[in-house]
Amino acid sequence: MSTPSSRLRNVLGHLLPLSNADAPPHHFSHLSPTFFLERAAAIEPNAEAVYHVTANGKVLRRSYMELADRARGLAYYLRKKGLKRVGLLAPNTPAFLESIYGIVAAGGVIVPANIRLKPEDISYIFDFAEVDAIIVDKEYENLLDLFRASHPQVEIIIDLDTDATSGALSGPFDDAVLEGLQHDRATGNKGWSDLQSQTVPNEDDMLAIPFTSGTTSKPKGVIYTHRGAYLAAVANVVESGLNLPSGRCKYLWTLPMFHAVGWTFPWAVCAVRGTHVCLRKVDYPLIWRLLKEEGVTHFNAAPTVNTLLCSAKEAEVLPRPVRVTVAASPPTAHLFEQMTNLNLFPVHVYGLTETYGPITRGYMLPEWEALPANEKFAKMARQGHGFLTSLPVRVIKPEQGEAGILIDVAKDGKEIGEIVFSGNICSKGYYKDPEATKKLFAGGVLHSGDLAVWHPDGSIQIQDRAKDIIISGGENISSVALESMLVEHPDVLEAGVVAVPDSHWGERPKAYLTVKEGREGALKGEEVIDWAKHQSSISKFMVPREVEIVRELPKTSTGKIKKNVLREWAKKGTPGDVVA
Amino acid sequence: MSTPSSRLRNVLGHLLPLSNADAPPHHFSHLSPTFFLERAAAIEPNAEAVYHVTANGKVLRRSYMELADRARGLAYYLRKKGLKRVGLLAPNTPAFLESIYGIVAAGGVIVPANIRLKPEDISYIFDFAEVDAIIVDKEYENLLDLFRASHPQVEIIIDLDTDATSGALSGPFDDAVLEGLQHDRATGNKGWSDLQSQTVPNEDDMLAIPFTSGTTSKPKGVIYTHRGAYLAAVANVVESGLNLPSGRCKYLWTLPMFHAVGWTFPWAVCAVRGTHVCLRKVDYPLIWRLLKEEGVTHFNAAPTVNTLLCSAKEAEVLPRPVRVTVAASPPTAHLFEQMTNLNLFPVHVYGLTETYGPITRGYMLPEWEALPANEKFAKMARQGHGFLTSLPVRVIKPEQGEAGILIDVAKDGKEIGEIVFSGNICSKGYYKDPEATKKLFAGGVLHSGDLAVWHPDGSIQIQDRAKDIIISGGENISSVALESMLVEHPDVLEAGVVAVPDSHWGERPKAYLTVKEGREGALKGEEVIDWAKHQSSISKFMVPREVEIVRELPKTSTGKIKKNVLREWAKKGTPGDVVA
Distance from first CA to last CA of chain A, Å, rounded? 69
CB distance A424–B198 less than 8 Å? no
pLDDT digit string (tens) for A258-301?
Answer: 999 999 999 999 999 999 999 999 999 999 999 999 999 999 99
pLDDT at residue B20 greater than cutoff 50: no
Q: Does A388 touch chain B (CB under 8 A)?
A: yes
Alpha-carbon span B482 to B509, nearest angstrom: 9
Output DSSP code: residue A48. Answer: E
Looking at the partner chain, which of A27, A39, A426 has a beta carbon nearest the beta carbon of B26?
Answer: A426
pLDDT value for B543: 87
pLDDT tens digits, one per residue of B271-309: 999 999 999 999 999 999 999 999 999 999 988 889 999
Helices (H) and strands (E) in chain B, counts: 18, 24
* Chain B residues within an 8 Å CB radius of A388: 36, 39, 234, 271-272
Cβ of A363 within 8 Å of Cβ of B43? The answer is yes
At residue A30 the predicted structure's pLDDT band, cuts being 50, 70 and 90, is very high
pLDDT at B18: 35
Is the Cβ pair A42, B458 closer than 8 Å?
yes
Mean pLDDT of B5-26: 44
Contact (CB<8Å) A28/B321: no
Q: Which residue has the higher pLDDT, B328 or A565?
A: A565
Say whether pLDDT at B501 is over 90.
no
pLDDT average, residue stretch A62-76: 98
Q: Best residue in B26, B36, B320 to probe A by mutation, most A CBs within 10 Å?
A: B26
Question: Span B160-175, mean pLDDT?
Answer: 80
Calculate the CA A181 to chain-centre distance: 32
- Asked whether residue B426 carries a pLDDT value surpassing 60, the answer given is yes
Say if the Cβ atoms of A11 and B7 lie within 8 Å: no
Mapped onto helix, strand or coil, the DSSP state of residue A92 is strand
Digit-coded pLDDT (tens) for A77-128: 999 999 999 999 999 999 999 999 999 999 999 999 999 888 999 999 999 9
Do the Cβ atoms of B27 and A201 come within 8 Å?
Answer: no
A365 touches B: beta carbon within 8 Å: yes
Determine whether the interchain pair A13/B202 forms a contact, defined as Cβ–Cβ distance below 8 Å: yes
B366: nearest CB among A25, A245, A247: A247
Query: Has residue A13 got a pLDDT over 50?
Result: no
- How many other C-beta atoms can be found within 10 angstroms of the C-beta atom of residue B537? 14
**pLDDT at residue B578, rounded to an integer:** 52
**Residue A26 at interface with chain B, using a CB cutoff of 8 Å:** yes
User: What is residue A507's predicted lDDT score, i.e. its pLDDT?
Assistant: 84
User: Within an 8 Å CB–CB cutoff, is residue B321 touching chain A?
Assistant: yes
The DSSP H or E segment spanning B250 is: strand B250-252
Mean pLDDT of B110-114: 97
In this prediction, residue A328 carries a pLDDT of: 65
Q: Is A428 on the interface with B (CB under 8 A)?
A: yes
The pLDDT value recorded for residue B9 is 35
Please say if the pLDDT value at position A10 is more than 60.
Answer: no
- What is the model's pLDDT at position B363? 94
Q: Is the pLDDT of residue B11 over 60?
A: no
| A215-249 pLDDT, tens digit each | 557 899 999 999 999 999 999 999 999 999 888 99
pLDDT, greater one: A142 or A557: A142
Q: Residue A129 — very low, low, confident or very high, per pLDDT cuts 50/70/90?
A: very high
For A120-140, letters b (16+ CB in 10 Å) and e give: ebbbbbbebbbbbbbbbbbbb
Average confidence (pLDDT) over B347-361 = 95
Average pLDDT, integer, range A461-479? 79
| Neighboring chain B residues of A13 at a CB cutoff of 8 Å | 202, 204-205
Search chain A and give the residue with CA nearest B447. A26
In percent, the amount of chain A with pLDDT more than 70 equals 92
pLDDT band at residue B6 using 50, 70 and 90 as cut-offs:
very low
Contacts of B522 (CB under 8 A, 6+ apart): B491, B515
d(CA A446, CA A422): 6
pLDDT at B210 over 90: yes
ipTM field: 0.88
Q: Is B389 on the interface with A (CB under 8 A)?
A: yes
In which region does residue B55 sit, left (phi positive, over 0), alpha (psi from -120 to 50) or beta (all else)? alpha
Give the count of Cβ contacts less than 8 A between chain A and B.
Answer: 174
**Contact present, A204 and A225 (Cβ < 8 Å):** yes
Average the pLDDT over A24-46 and give the result: 95
CA distance B2 to B9: 10
Put simply, the answer to whether B2 touches A22 (Cβ < 8 Å) is yes
Pairing, β A385-386 against β A357-361: antiparallel
Winning range, highest mean pLDDT, from A7-11, B376-380, B383-387: B383-387
Mutation pick from A11, A12, A27 vs chain B, by most beta carbons of B within 10 Å, is A27
Residues in chain A: 580
Contact across the interface for B21 and A13, Cβ inside 8 Å: no
Rounded-to-integer distance, Cα B199 and Cα B28, Å: 10
Give the DSSP per-residue string, A541-572: GGS-SEEEEBS---B-TTS-B-HHHHHHHHHH
Residue B168: the pLDDT is 56
At A247 the pLDDT is: 84
- Give the residue, A537 or B315, on which the prediction is more confident: B315
* Strands of A394-396's sheet in order across: A394-396, A417-421, A446-454, A460-465
- Does residue B193 sit at the A interface (CB-CB below 8 Å)? no
A22 CB within 8 Å of a chain B CB: yes
Q: Å from A427 to nearest chain B CA?
A: 6
Could you report the per-residue pLDDT of B299-333, keeping only the tens digit for each? 999 888 899 999 999 999 999 999 999 986 677 88
Lowest mean pLDDT among A295-309, A437-451, B504-518: B504-518
Give the pLDDT of residue A476: 74
Residue type, B512: Y
Q: What is the mean pLDDT of residues B34-63?
A: 96
pLDDT at B110 over 90: yes
Give the whole-angstrom CA distance, residue B237 versus residue A16. Answer: 32
Residues on chain B touching A241 (C-beta within 8 angstroms): 243-245
The beta-carbon neighbor of B39 closest among A10, A44, A392 is A392
Give the mean pLDDT of chain B: 89
Strand segments, DSSP code E, in B103-203 are 109-112, 133-137, 155-159
H, E, C per residue of B474-537: CEEECHHHHHHHHCCCCCEEEEEEEEEEECCCEEEEEEEEEECCCCCCCCCHHHHHHHHHCCCC
Number of H helices, E strands in chain A: 18, 24
Which element (helix H / strand E) includes B299?
A: strand B298-301
Let me know: does A161 contact A280? Beta carbons within 8 Å.
yes
Contact B143, B119 (CB under 8 A): yes
Q: What pLDDT does residue A245 have?
A: 84
